[in-house]
Structure 1
């Protein structure tokens, strides 16, 4: 009886029927999972890049069109926070630099230029926050926008 069971087991192991579909599924899953992760990660990086670029552009525009220097900086802060939140980027961790020329203390100087530079990090998807693994798994993104200030100032 044990001899017959061994012979049946050897015969089943030697039979190749149905193994091609199993091999196809195994190789397909091994290739498909990293490919799907790569597409999701690239989408996340692109979203962060578009958010940072949009935030810098919009912040430069609102500063250049503001009535006063302080009002422009406050509006730029709000614009940056909204744009980065829409893109899923942590606004608190972003580095923002607003420079005005020719006078650094007055961004509304006629014929001046407002430059906004934002640096942030796009976190990769499915990175667990356990043991701080999510901190090293981020791609730095940055954008810079220049906006000229109108030569005529604010219109009434």
Structure 2
């Protein structure tokens, strides 16, 4: 067999090798992009929920109104980001003594959620490992005349 004959036997294999290697490399890159998009979406949702709930509590007229507004905002933000309100763990803390919220206090809202990575089967607990914990915190001062109107 001459060199020319050997070269003819390899004709067309470069494109096949390129397609095979390209697909092998492309699939993980696409999965990474999709996973990062999901994590970013959950991060934005947690940050928005913490910020808007803290602001809603600080601008409410009383504690009952603050709780109602916080629930409504949590539902709205969860819906906007394609989540359910149950995916958020919302924590509200106030500085100082007395009931929370109260005039003059600083309210701290913390939102905790988990971004679930796609295409991970619930076998051997892998779905529990394929979660990225996300936490966002916002702080807002409650006005001195809060609740007096």
TM-score scaled by structure 1?
A: 0.80
Q: Aligned match of 1:115 in 95, 108, 113?
A: 108
Give the structure 2 partner of residue 8 of structure 1. none
Aligned residues: 144
Among 66, 85, 89, the alignment partner of 1:91 is 85
Answer yes or no: is 1:61 the counterpart of 2:55.
yes
- Post-superposition Cα deviations, 1:21-58, rounded to whole Å, max 9, x if no partner, equal 00000000000110011011001000000000000100
CA distance in 1, matches of 2:62, 2:98: 13
Partner of 1:80: 74
Return the alpha-carbon distance in structure 2 between the equivalents of residues 75 and 102 of structure 1.
Answer: 23
Contact 1:69 / 1:105 at 8 angstroms: preserved in 2? no
| Conserved 8 A contact 1:121-1:141 | yes
Residue matched to 2:17: 23
Structure 1 residue corresponding to 2:137, chosen from 144, 147, 150 = 144
Change (3 A) 1:132 1:92: farther
SS of equivalent residue, structure 2 residue 60: coil
> Residues 124 and 104 of structure 1: is their aligned pair in 2 closer, same or farther, counting only changes over 3 Å?
farther
Alpha-carbon deviation of 1:130?
A: 6.6
Secondary structure of residue in 2 paired with 1:78? helix
